[in-house]
Amino acid sequence: MALKRMDNVGIVVEDLGVTIDFFRELGLELEGRATIEGEWAGRVTGLGNQHVEIAMMRTPDGHSRLELSRFLTPPVVADHRNAPVNALGYLRVMFTVDDINETLERLRKRGAQLVGEVVDYQDTYRLCYIRGPEGLLIGLAQEL
């Protein structure tokens, strides 16, 4: 069996609307919103009776997606949003952009904060990490 593709990366948030607006500003498109609940969903996640609002965000090329989830029940049990870059586990998502400086300027208006510095890597990429809504860690890369 061969792996076919990666469908999405899931991010749990408290404020779905603010997070959708932030990722739209970055350039993702809202593919759809839905409420997920019922016995079948709890069997998949192991959480039992759950009620979750989700939004699926798609990259402009159509190949990648973010699934933003807001859990109504059960309540969120852990918070890793302020973990440093070297923390164990899933940590960040990275996007390639046309112009890092222009992207940072737009996202700062939505509360984004630069984590370190914007740096050039071997005349190949300009890179940085930002904290987006709710402290989410996001990488930005610009091909040079």
Residue 93: name the closest of 17, 16, 27 by CA: 27
Cβ atoms 88, 111 nearer than 8 A: no
Question: According to the model, what pLDDT value does residue 133 have?
Answer: 92
**Positions of E strands within 26-64:** 29-37, 51-58
- Each residue of 70-81: pLDDT tens digit? 999 998 888 888
Please check whether the domain covering 93-143 is classified as CATH 3.40.50.300. no
CB 26 within 8 A of CB 104: no
Is 35 a residue whose pLDDT tops 80? yes
Residue 120 burial class via C-beta count within 10 angstroms: exposed 0-12, middle 13-18, buried 19 and up:
exposed
- pLDDT of 41 > 90? The answer is no
Question: Which CATH number is 9-73's, of 2.30.30.90, 3.10.180.10, 3.50.50.60, 3.20.20.70?
Answer: 3.10.180.10
Report pLDDT for 34.
96
The DSSP 8-state label assigned to residue 54 in this structure reads E
Domain with CATH 3.10.180.10 in the chain: 9-73, 93-143
Stretch (H or E) spanning 130 = strand 125-131
Cβ neighbours, 10 Å, residue 56: 17
> Torsion over CA of 16, 7, 131 and 122, rounded to 10 degrees?
-160
User: In this structure, are residues 19 and 46 in contact, taking their beta carbons and an 8 Å threshold?
Assistant: no
Does the pLDDT at position 90 exceed 80?
A: no
